[in-house]
């Protein structure tokens, strides 16, 4: 089987764009062999788009406009030049109360707007310890429309903790997620992915890339993860 094209995505969260992000040799630019997406803070979307970077929103509302102070819509992201959007990142679920149903509606609105959404799923530490990982991701995925083409498995306990899932733990959940999907889909891993663990994680047969937070803010580190991915294409 030919390998699905690897996708390496940077989620800068609520941080400024790293210095040099728009340089000619920036690792945030699409590489011939692999896909690279960047998810900046909303205020930095325009400068990423004008730098020719494949850009996405970190969240978007399903309504196209209206009285929703502080929000941006999927159609606005598209009009601003975005290609993608994150839906249901665990930080949105936690700090903004986004439910599985709301995430499913966002994904549908994103597709309707012409964006490629990345739906984020993943269990908390207590859910894993209680043996509920598969149940949790199954429920999260059951709310998504079948057209979803990229899912990020991000175990909540691995995000920003420096404690990545092992390659075996991640592969197990990715393979399970694949059994739940009707259509072909890329399934990328997120949660303390870094230079040291990138090769092993990205070599797993059901891991089609990474969604990277902390290490994407360090341009050298991100560069070396992109280079690793390129060798595995
Ligand atoms: P870290 O890479 O900082 O753990 O963040 C992962 C993440 O949340 C990407 O969306």
Q: Give me the helix-helix angle, 167-180 and 195-202, nearest 10°.
A: 40
- Rounded-to-integer distance, Cα 124 and Cα 42, Å: 27
The pLDDT value recorded for residue 3 is 76
The domain limits of the chain are: 7-232
Residue 212 has pLDDT above 80, yes or no: yes
Ligand 1 atom nearest to CA at 39: 10
Expressed in angstroms and rounded, the spacing between residue 156 Cα and the centre of ligand 1 is 9
The pLDDT value recorded for residue 2 is 64
Ligand 1 pocket test target in 95, 124, 159 with most atoms within 8 Å of CB: 159
Q: Strand (E) positions, the chain? A: 7-11, 35-39, 56-57, 84-87, 116-121, 150-153, 186-190, 209-212
* Under 8 Å between Cβ of 23 and 202: no
The mean pLDDT value for 83-107 works out to: 98
Expressed in angstroms and rounded, the spacing between residue 2 Cα and the centre of ligand 1 is 28
Which CATH number describes the domain made up of 7-232? 3.20.20.70
The mean pLDDT value for 108-114 works out to: 98
Dump pLDDT digits (tens) for 162-204.
999 999 999 999 999 999 998 999 999 999 999 999 999 999 9
Query: Lowest-pLDDT range, 18-22, 194-198, 229-233?
Result: 229-233
Residue 110 has pLDDT above 70, yes or no: yes
Ligand 1 atom nearest to CA at 193: 2
- Rounded-to-integer distance, Cα 168 and Cα 173, Å: 9
Expressed in angstroms and rounded, the spacing between residue 161 Cα and the centre of ligand 1 is 9
User: Cα separations (Å) of 110 from 14, 20, 61, 73, 101?
Assistant: 21, 30, 9, 9, 14
- Rounded-to-integer distance, Cα 112 and Cα 109, Å: 5
Dump pLDDT digits (tens) for 37-74.
999 999 999 999 999 999 999 999 999 999 999 999 99
Which residues surround ligand 1 with Cβ inside 6 Å?
11, 89, 154, 159-160, 190-193, 211-215
Angle at the Cα of 33 (from 29 to 35), degrees rounded to 5? Answer: 50
Q: Is position 154 annotated as part of the catalytic site? A: yes
Expressed in angstroms and rounded, the spacing between residue 150 Cα and the centre of ligand 1 is 16
User: Which residue in 91, 105, 123, 154 is the catalytic one?
Assistant: 154
Ligand 1 atom nearest to CA at 214: 3
Q: Is position 89 annotated as part of the catalytic site? A: yes
| Pair of tokens at residue 195 | 């230079």
Mean pLDDT, the chain, integer: 96
The pLDDT value recorded for residue 167 is 97
Residue of the CA atom closest to atom 5 of ligand 1: 213
The mean pLDDT value for 31-41 works out to: 92
At residue 30 the predicted structure's pLDDT band, cuts being 50, 70 and 90, is: confident
Residue 1 has pLDDT above 70, yes or no: no
Question: How many residues appear in the chain?
Answer: 233
């Amino acid at each position: 089987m030919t390998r699905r094209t690897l996708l390496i995505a940077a989620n800068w969260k609520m941080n400024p764009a790293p210095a040099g992000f728009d340089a000619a040799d920036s690792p945030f630019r699409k590489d011939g062999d692999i896909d690279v997406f960047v998810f900046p803070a909303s205020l930095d979307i325009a400068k990423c788009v004008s730098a020719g970077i494949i850009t996405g929103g970190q969240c978007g509302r399903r309504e196209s406009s209206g009285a929703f102070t502080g929000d941006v819509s999927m159609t606005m992201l598209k009009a601003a030049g975005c290609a993608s959007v994150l839906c249901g990142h665990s930080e949105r679920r936690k700090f903004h109360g986004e439910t599985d149903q709301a995430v499913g509606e966002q994904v549908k609105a994103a597709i309707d707007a012409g964006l490629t959404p990345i739906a984020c799923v993943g269990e908390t530490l207590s859910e894993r310890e209680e043996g509920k990982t598969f149940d949790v991701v199954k429920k999260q995925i059951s709310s998504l429309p079948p057209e979803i083409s990229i899912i990020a498995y991000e175990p909540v306990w691995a995000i920003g903790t420096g404690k990545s899932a092992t390659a075996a733990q991640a592969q197990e959940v990715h393979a399970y997620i694949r059994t739940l999907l009707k259509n072909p889909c890329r399934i990328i891993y997120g949660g303390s992915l870094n230079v040291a663990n990138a090769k092993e994680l990205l070599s797993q047969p059901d891991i089609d890339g990474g969604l990277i937070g902390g290490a994407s803010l360090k341009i050298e580190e991100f560069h070396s993860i992109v280079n690793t991915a390129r060798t595995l294409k």
